Amino acid sequence: MGFLKKNFYIYTIVFIGFLILLPFFINGVRFFDNHLLSGFLKDFIGWSIYSENWVLEDNYVNRRSYSYLNKGENVHIAHALGKSGLSGGNSYGAFEDSKNRGFHLFEVDIFRGGDDLLWCHHGPEEPDLSAKDQCNLLGLLSRSSPDDYFILDIKNSFEFVLREIISSESFIKYHKQLIFQLYSPGDIRLFVNLSGNLNLPAPIITVYKAHRSPRHIMNSLVDMGYTVIVVPLEKLPSVPMSNKYKVFVHPVHNCLQYNDTRSYIVSGYYVTNSFDSSTCNFF
């Protein structure tokens, strides 16, 4: 009995140690894959386990314009309307503050509430409707100027939100300001099928939830006319640098994060509205 008890303690300690070390091992594998293998392992897993394929049929070619990016490189996007990770994110106040600081391109989280309204909210919990500055998409657009553009990061009920925006008369006059951020091949197909000839800008593609590598995704999409990719900062080393498409990075909220992007060809940054890249010292 004492032998079994002793072994039980040993196995328990080993198991607990395994659980503690597992996240470090996984992060190490991801770092190795991103920096040295250009996402090969992620591609293999995405293909073999998830059967995810970003090669689209010819009828899903993007024919919409990226003219909202014609103001040049080094585009700064107000993340969560300019207050990402801070008190007041996704609020009217954040939007007004960002506008006053000269921003014209905004990212906003869109959440379908239990009341079926489209709230500026990250989730997953329901928005606090008692909050004084609680923002909804239609109210936000009514405060905007025609040269303001909004990247819509839809957090739930993608098809419902897409249908609501493209079919509701309340949104029609704002269509040219609304940029859909698409997470998957299914999102792209749904967007193209439902949006038809509506006056919407070209969408952008995010790899944030993708099971395939940025290399596979952009090699599959760039010749289809999708030429803007959004990449989490930690995945940037796995993105093939090319002048065929523009790379946007998030989050870039401080100089340390900004300096991490300097070795790559980056065209856009998801930033807080108080961040000023000109104050960063390059290493």
Q: pLDDT tens digit string along 121-172?
A: 999 999 888 888 899 999 999 999 999 999 999 999 999 999 999 999 999 9
Q: Does the pLDDT at position 33 exceed 80?
A: no
Strand pairing category for 149-154 and 118-120: unpaired
In 3D, which of 54, 64, 16, 92 has the Cα closest to residue 215? 54
Provide mean pLDDT across the span 81-87: 87
Provide mean pLDDT across the span 197-212: 94
Q: How many CB atoms lie within 10 A of CB 52?
A: 17
One-letter identity of residue 226? Y
* pLDDT tens digits for range 271-281: 999 998 888 87
Burial class (CB in 10 A: 0-12, 13-18, 19+), 168: exposed
Burial class (CB in 10 A: 0-12, 13-18, 19+), 80: buried
C-alpha–C-alpha distance, residues 230 and 247, integer Å: 6
pLDDT at 30 (0 to 100): 65
In whole numbers, what is the pLDDT of the chain averaged over residues?
88
pLDDT at 268 (0 to 100): 94
pLDDT category at 173 given cuts 50, 70, 90 is very high
Domains of the chain, each with CATH number or no CATH: 37-279 (3.20.20.190)
Strand-pair partners of 119: 111, 136
C-alpha–C-alpha distance, residues 64 and 143, integer Å: 25
